[in-house]
Amino acid sequence: MDHDRLPYKMYMWEESTGGKGWIQDVKIITDVLHLPPPSEHIIYDLDAAAVAARNLSVNEYWREAAVKPKLDCFVEVTDRMSVCNLVKANMKRRPRSLTAKLLCGILPLEVETGRYKKGQKVDREFRYCKVCNSGRAETEYHYLFSCDKLKVERSTAYLECVDDIGHFMVIQDCEKVRYLLAPEKIKGFGNMVENLFDKRRQCLFNPNK
């Protein structure tokens, strides 16, 4: 840092007075990024520092997400690119919103709404699907790929989204979601999530329609 520049003079003045303002922020940043403290002999690569800080932030984000049960599906099927795909996709607001809620574990499926019963916590595997009454937990994967009451809407969606249905049906559910989050598939996936959601609501609240 050039000792004739005003930022350096301000830094040195605040350090000499024991200041706890922005000098503390600078020290935190240099410590976290394992950089030497500012001096007139130090020249920082600010672009490299910005990349390092961004990577630290992203890694911390994924570490925190990994220990939150609500985000199990999100952690298992998404990465930074698939999140970008959802944000950038040419989709209507409602299917985009429902897809985001599904991935973030807040779509009102039984795995989310059935966490407590009469004040007692219900284990995830016992939050049974009330749509098909199969005795299976209504997880995001059950909703997307298994619930019998949604099979017509699911089959219609597969015609739009899936190129090789034989291969698609034998891969793991998490791999199916990753496949459907690809840029060229995600719009159809959003429509699928919306159609399944509407059919689910009809089965629960207006079954005779």
pLDDT of the residue at 75: 82
Contacts of residue 114, defined as CB under 8 A and 6 or more positions apart, other chains included, come to 122, 127, 128, 138
Q: What is the DSSP letter of 36?
A: P
Please state, in angstroms and rounded to a whole number, the distance separating the CA atoms of residues 159 and 37: 59
DSSP 45: -
> Does residue 59 sit in the same domain as residue 86?
no
Same domain, 31 and 90: no
Does residue 51 lie within any of the structural domains? Answer: yes
- Determine the Cα–Cα distance for residues 195 and 191; give it in Å rounded to an integer: 6
Residue 165 lies in a domain: yes
Q: Are residues 121 and 184 in the same domain?
A: yes
Is 43 a domain residue? Answer: yes
Q: Are residues 144 and 122 in the same domain?
A: yes
- C-alpha 154/C-alpha 152 separation (Å) is 5
Cα–Cα nearest to 55, from 73, 33, 37: 33
Q: Answer yes or no: do 190 and 96 share one domain.
A: yes
Return the closest-CA partner of residue 124 out of 50, 73, 176, 61: 73
CB atoms within 10 A of CB 88: 10
140 within 8 A of 111, measured Cβ to Cβ:
yes
Report pLDDT for 66: 75
Per-residue pLDDT at 1: 53
Q: Which amino acid is at 122?
A: V
Residue 121: which residues within 8 A CB-CB, separation 6 or more? 115
Q: Is residue 20 part of a domain?
A: yes
Considering the domain architecture, whether residues 118 and 62 belong to the same structural domain is answered as no
186 and 108, same structural domain?
yes
Q: Which of 86, 48, 40, 72 is nearest to 180 (CA)?
A: 86
pLDDT in 10s for each residue of the chain, 209 residues: 556 777 667 767 776 776 666 666 677 777 777 777 766 567 777 777 777 777 777 778 777 877 777 788 888 887 766 677 888 888 999 999 999 999 989 999 999 999 888 889 999 899 999 999 999 999 999 999 999 999 999 999 998 888 888 899 999 999 999 999 988 999 999 999 999 999 999 999 887 76
Residues 6+ apart with CB under 8 A from 70: 104, 105, 106, 112
State the total domains in the chain. Answer: 2
Quick check: is 13 in a domain? Answer: yes
Is 125 found in the same domain as 33? no
Region of residue 148 (phi > 0: left; psi between -120 and 50: alpha; otherwise: beta): alpha
Residue 80 lies in a domain: yes
46-54: long-range contacts at Cβ-Cβ below 8 A with a sequence spacing of 24 or more? 53/29
Residue ranges making up the domain that contains 36: 6-66
Please check whether residue 70 is in contact with residue 106, taking contact to mean a CB–CB distance below 8 angstroms: yes
Q: Same domain for 86 and 55?
A: no
**Same domain assignment for residues 104 and 134:** yes
Q: Are residues 102 and 174 in the same domain?
A: yes
